[in-house]
């Protein structure tokens, strides 16, 4: 007994006396930590330090504060923003003919360009003091989404100047002189901006751009000034072919020491008029047959004054930080808006088409195979709208959550792709045959654009979400990394010691917490609500604890190798992502007043999130290199096995049924979808009109079916004969017969696909051949 007491006292002294603890425990761990610390470049450090930590930090702590989630204000449009939606946006939509834009003009018509300029569509983020509209992030997102349901090419054209580009960079970092000159010109449409970052050898690795700017003296406006000799070769630059001002990212060097002792100054951003001597623009790419302007820009030995650096000479070498901070906000608005727009359109149209398209005498929406796809479309659309509003709302709160926006960009574009595939399958030939009547084909073409730009999805999932999230969101790791990188070893050790004690306590709490929650299946976790969603809060809190525990062990055991173990990192990122997605769904349900009609969609979305969390954890446990640790973690977090399941068929069918009939839920679910505004030739309007008309005659059809069943009128006759027989037998009235005829006429018109005379489709080939002959 005395030996035990002596050991406990010795342990207490070692742990309790700082100098002894640091000498015997912290210093050796500190030394090991430095060795396993993943190497971090300056660009990676700037990415880590940029932006802010928001709700994702709560999820990473293992004990999310759900009341805090509920307390975030619900994003809403101001009166001015709503008026813009009701007037300017609707006017724009009436001017757009997407088939003509994509297949005939391959550009927006000049009146559309003029309208976009004059009405401030390119100035939504620019402050009113400079002539802009100064709209909120939620307004920016909603406007782009609404336009995208009508024309993806027009939406991208509007999106880019209001995302990462000269306008945003000037607002945050520009000198007063630069702001006073450029922002009013951008606001009133005098200038069209583009921003050139990506090149042939630098796509996802934007920090590796080979483009250079050498500090030197040169002539500008008749005077010798200090400036930069630029050489660049960029591609995939949206709006470049029509831009009048070019934002350019390059690596800046000062080999002659004209600015100081440092020769490699780093990534820098400058603003250059495209009319400037040596700037090359004009060549276009043809991105998946879309008509938005996208192309190349080059420059060889182009001299500019230092004052053209965004922010002036003081901001030389600070370009990467500027880009990362702006990108983290823009990524959470633009591309999620496109993904959500696709969902609104697909939901509205696929449900309607499934109701009016008939096979084997039944609406195809009655078949369970179609219902499965419809259920997925509806559940994902509810999820996407929840994520869109929550993420844009975070930006409007002044946050710049780089991890959250990476989650939104990756998962929202992938969900959009998934539900669009379902929509294409259900529409079948209607979606495949391009023409003025096809409202879904261009969305299908454009989906890879959103998936590719602003960080390719493979990179975003495998390197960014967890790779950045684990460091930024963890309450102690980033501080420990900074302590290890401190050149003052003594100061670093002291800081590391304080963090280590807290980290050990945090890890132990997570271990025993995860074990308790695993054994009790989260039954004792607190929830902020009662009713049908309370169980989800308990399970998500349990999975949050499991993530925190698994992340700590991964970083401890793999250290710097975790960066290279992309598949391991990606699976933990999937867990974090699904926790965020589920949080957004729960918040939307609460913000919307806990509507009973929402419950099938909420259940579908949350069961799907938990299932995907289980799949991600299972993959993590199966492939984690330290097999004993993997087995231990699995038994701690899931002592009874991973039991999360996909939504039951009953839930899927409930979601599907809501898409197959008119009603408030269907309208709320697809409220951003453009419906044609009464134009008879609008393909979306055709489907909607037929859908409503067919729904209105369901009682009449039931009369006819009953009469056929009891033998009053014959079965299996053509439509006109059936109507005549029903009239003659007194089964239906003349008015009801007219209703049926009108509905059937609208239905046939709506499900029709386009066909062309041979000379129409060969005209382009003939024109091309004529051009070759002339050449």
Q: Report the SS3 class of residue 225.
A: strand
214 near 229, Cβ under 8 Å?
yes
- Tell me the DSSP string of 572-596: HHHHHHHHHHHHHHHHHHHHTT--G
Q: For residue 233, how many C-alpha atoms fall within 13 Å in the half-sphere facing its CB?
A: 4
For residues 123 and 140, the answer to whether their CB atoms sit within 8 Å is no
Q: With contact defined as beta carbons under 8 Å apart, do 294 and 287 qualify? A: yes
Buried/exposed 483-512: b ≥16 CB within 10 Å, e otherwise: bbeeeeeeebbebbbebbbebeebbeebbe
Q: What is the mean pLDDT of residues 428-451?
A: 92
Contacts of 17 (CB under 8 A, 6+ apart): none
CA 633 – CA 28 distance, rounded (Å): 26
215 pairs with which residues across the strands?
Answer: 228
Q: What are the Cα distances from residue 345, in Å, to 351, 382, 451, 510?
A: 10, 13, 18, 43
| String of DSSP letters for 361-376 | TEEGGGSHHHHHHHHH
DSSP character at residue 87:
I
Residue 202 near residue 455, CB atoms below 8 Å: no
Contacts of 625 (CB under 8 A, 6+ apart): 557, 558, 565
Phi then psi for 403, rounded to 5 degrees?
-70, -45
According to CATH, what is the number of the domain 193-330? 2.40.110.10
Mean pLDDT score, 669-684: 90
* Distance between CA atoms of residues 568 and 630, nearest Å: 12
Where are the alpha helices (H) located in 149-226, listed in sequence order? 152-159, 166-173, 176-187
DSSP per-residue letters across 586-630: HHHHHHTT--GGGHHHHHHHHHHHHHHHHHHHHHHHHH-S-HHHH
Q: Alpha carbon of 575 to those of 3, 566, 611, 683: distances in Å?
A: 46, 14, 10, 40
Top-confidence residue, 37 or 112: 112
Mean pLDDT score across all residues of the chain:
88
Q: Which of 658, 535, 183, 580 is nearest to 387 (CA)?
A: 580
- Examine the pLDDT at 491 and tell me if it is beyond 80: no
Q: What is the DSSP letter of 221?
A: T
Average pLDDT over residues 45-72: 85
Cα(524)–Cα(542) distance, rounded to whole angstroms? 10
Torsion angle in degrees (nearest 10) through CA of 124, 129, 131, 137 = 0
* Residue pLDDT, tens place only, 704-759: 989 988 989 988 788 899 999 989 889 999 999 999 999 999 999 999 999 988 87
Token pair of 643, please? Answer: 């039991």
What gap in Å lies between CA 218 and CA 69, rounded to an integer? 56
| Model confidence pLDDT, tens digit, residues 196-251 | 998 888 776 666 789 999 999 999 999 999 999 999 999 999 999 999 999 999 99
Query: What's this model's pTM, rounded to 2 decimal places?
Result: 0.92
How far, CA to CA in Å, does 669 sit from each of 143, 431, 661, 663, 723?
17, 22, 12, 10, 36
User: What does the pLDDT read at residue 59?
Assistant: 93
Query: Between 753 and 560, where is the model more confident?
Result: 753
Angle subtended at Cα 560 by Cα 554 and Cα 564, rounded to the nearest 5 degrees: 85
pLDDT band at 456 (very low <50, low <70, confident <90, very high): confident
Q: Which of 55, 49, 53, 91 is nearest to 72 (CA)?
A: 55
3-class SS letters over 404-417: HHHHHHHHHHHHHH
Q: What share of the chain is helix, strand, coil (3-state, %, to 5)?
A: 65, 10, 25
8 A C-beta contact, residue 465 and residue 407: yes
Mean pLDDT score, 120-138: 95
Q: Of 58, 325, 399, 454, which is the active-site residue?
A: 454
Q: Based on the residue annotation, tell me whether 368 is a catalytic residue of this protein.
A: no
- Under the banding of pLDDT at 50, 70 and 90, the label for residue 14 is very low
Rg of the chain's alpha carbons, rounded to an integer? Answer: 30
Residue 236 phi, psi dihedral angles, 5° rounding: 65, 30
Domains of the chain, by residue range, sit at 37-67+461-654, 79-172, 193-330, 697-775
Query: What integer pLDDT is reported at residue 583 of this predicted model?
Result: 98
Query: How many residues are given for the chain?
Result: 775
Q: Are 350 and 374 in contact (CB under 8 A)?
A: yes
What pLDDT is stored for residue 30 in this prediction?
58
Tell me which residue of 170, 131, 163, 164 sits closest to 144, measured CA to CA: 163
Q: What is the DSSP string of 260-290?
A: -S-SEEEEEEEEEETTSTTEE---B--GGG-
Do residues 614 and 642 make contact, with C-beta atoms less than 8 angstroms apart?
yes
Strand residue runs (E) in 333-467: 358-359, 362-363
* pLDDT tier for residue 31 given thresholds of 50, 70 and 90: low
User: 210: Cβ–Cβ under 8 A, 6 or more apart, which residues?
Assistant: 199, 201, 202, 233, 251
Determine the topology of domain 79-172 in CATH.
Butyryl-Coa Dehydrogenase, subunit A; domain 1 (1.10.540)
Distance separating alpha carbons of residues 495 and 483, to the nearest angstrom:
6
pLDDT at residue 36 is higher than 60:
no
* Model pLDDT for residues 681-712, shown as the tens digit of each residue: 899 999 999 999 999 999 999 999 899 889 89
Give CA–CA dist 139/396, Å, rounded. Answer: 10
**pLDDT (0 to 100) of residue 325:** 76
Q: pLDDT grade, residue 495 (50/70/90)?
A: low
Q: Which of 22, 19, 342, 321 has the alpha carbon at shortest distance from 151?
A: 342
Q: Say if residues 386 and 584 touch (Cβ distance below 8 Å).
A: yes
Q: Exposed, middle or buried, 387 (CB in 10 Å: 0-12/13-18/19+)?
A: buried
């Amino acid at each position: 007994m005395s030996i035990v007491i002596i050991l406990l006292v010795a342990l207490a002294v070692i742990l309790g006396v700082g100098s002894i603890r640091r000498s015997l425990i912290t210093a050796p761990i500190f030394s090991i930590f430095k060795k396993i610390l993943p190497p971090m470049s300056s660009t990676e450090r700037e990415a880590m330090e940029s932006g802010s930590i928001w709700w994702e930090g709560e999820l990473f702590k293992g004990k999310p504060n759900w009341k805090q989630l509920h307390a975030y204000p619900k994003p809403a449009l101001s009166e001015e923003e709503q008026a813009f939606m009701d007037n300017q946006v609707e006017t724009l939509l009436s001017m757009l003919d997407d088939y003509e834009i994509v297949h005939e003009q391959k550009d927006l018509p000049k009146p559309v360009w003029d309208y976009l300029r004059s009405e401030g569509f390119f100035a939504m983020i620019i402050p009113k003091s400079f002539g802009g509209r100064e709209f909120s992030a939620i307004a920016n997102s909603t406007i782009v989404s609404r336009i995208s349901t009508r024309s993806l090419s027009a939406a991208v054209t509007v999106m880019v100047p209001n995302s990462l580009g000269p306008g945003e960079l000037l607002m945050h970092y520009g000198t007063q002189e630069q702001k006073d000159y450029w922002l009013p010109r951008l606001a009133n449409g005098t200038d069209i901006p583009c921003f050139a970052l990506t090149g042939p050898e630098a796509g996802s690795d934007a920090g590796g751009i080979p483009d250079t700017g050498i500090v030197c003296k040169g002539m500008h406006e008749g005077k010798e000034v200090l400036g930069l000799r630029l050489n660049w070769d960029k591609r995939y630059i949206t709006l470049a072919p029509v831009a009048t001002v070019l934002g350019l990212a390059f690596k800046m060097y000062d080999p002659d020491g004209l600015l100081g002792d440092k020769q490699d100054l780093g990534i820098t951003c400058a603003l250059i008029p495209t009319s400037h001597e040596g700037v090359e623009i004009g060549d276009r790419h043809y991105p998946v047959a879309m008509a938005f302007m996208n192309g190349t820009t080059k420059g060889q030995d182009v001299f500019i004054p230092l004052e053209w650096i965004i922010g002036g000479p003081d901001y030389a070498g600070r370009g990467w930080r500027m880009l990362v901070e702006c990108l983290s906000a823009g990524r959470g608005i633009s591309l999620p808006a496109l993904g959500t727009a696709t969902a609104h359109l697909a939901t509205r149209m696929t449900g309607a088409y499934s109701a009016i398209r008939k096979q084997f005498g039944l609406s195809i929406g009655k078949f369970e195979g179609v219902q499965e796809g419809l259920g997925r479309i509806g559940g994902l659309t509810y999820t996407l709208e929840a994520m869109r509003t929550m993420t844009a709302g975070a930006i409007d709160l002044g946050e710049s959550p780089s991890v959250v926006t990476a989650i939104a960009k990756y998962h929202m574009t992938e969900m959009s792709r998934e539900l669009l595939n379902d929509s294409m399958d259900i529409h079948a030939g209607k979606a495949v045959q391009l023409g003025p009547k096809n409202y879904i084909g261009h969305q299908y073409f454009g989906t890879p654009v959103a998936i590719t730009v602003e960080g390719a999805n493979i990179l975003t999932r495998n390197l960014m979400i967890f790779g950045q999230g684990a460091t930024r969101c963890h309450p102690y790791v980033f501080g420990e990394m900074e302590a290890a990188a401190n050149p003052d070893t003594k100061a670093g050790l002291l800081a590391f010691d304080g963090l280590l004690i807290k980290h050990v306590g945090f890890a132990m709490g997570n271990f025993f917490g995860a074990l308790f929650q695993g054994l009790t299946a989260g039954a004792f976790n607190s929830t902020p609500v009662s009713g049908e969603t309370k169980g989800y809060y308990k399970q998500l809190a349990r999975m949050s604890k499991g993530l925190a525990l698994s992340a700590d062990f991964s970083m401890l055991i793999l250290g710097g190798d975790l960066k290279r173990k992309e598949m391991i990192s990606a699976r933990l990122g999937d867990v974090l992502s699904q926790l965020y997605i589920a949080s957004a769904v729960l918040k939307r349900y609460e913000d919307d007043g806990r509507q009973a009609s929402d419950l099938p969609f909420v259940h579908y979305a949350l069961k799907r999130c938990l299932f995907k969390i289980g799949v991600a954890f299972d993959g993590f446990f199966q492939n984690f290199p330290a097999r004993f640790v993997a087995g231990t973690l699995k038994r701690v977090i899931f002592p009874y096995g991973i039991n999360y399941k996909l939504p039951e068929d009953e839930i899927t069918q409930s979601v599907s049924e809501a898409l197959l009939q008119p009603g408030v839920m269907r309208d709320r679910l697809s409220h951003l979808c453009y419906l044609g505004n009464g134009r008879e030739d609008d393909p979306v309007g055709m489907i909607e009109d037929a859908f409503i008309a067919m729904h209105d005659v369901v009682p009449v059809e039931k009369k006819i079916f009953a009469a056929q069943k009891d033998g009053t009128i014959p079965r299996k006759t053509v439509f006109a004969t059936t109507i005549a027989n029903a009239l003659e037998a007194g089964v239906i009235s003349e008015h009801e017969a007219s209703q049926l005829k009108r509905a059937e006429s609208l239905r046939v018109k709506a499900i029709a696909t386009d066909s062309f005379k041979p000379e129409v489709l060969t005209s382009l080939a003939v024109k091309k051949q004529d051009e070759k002959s002339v050449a």
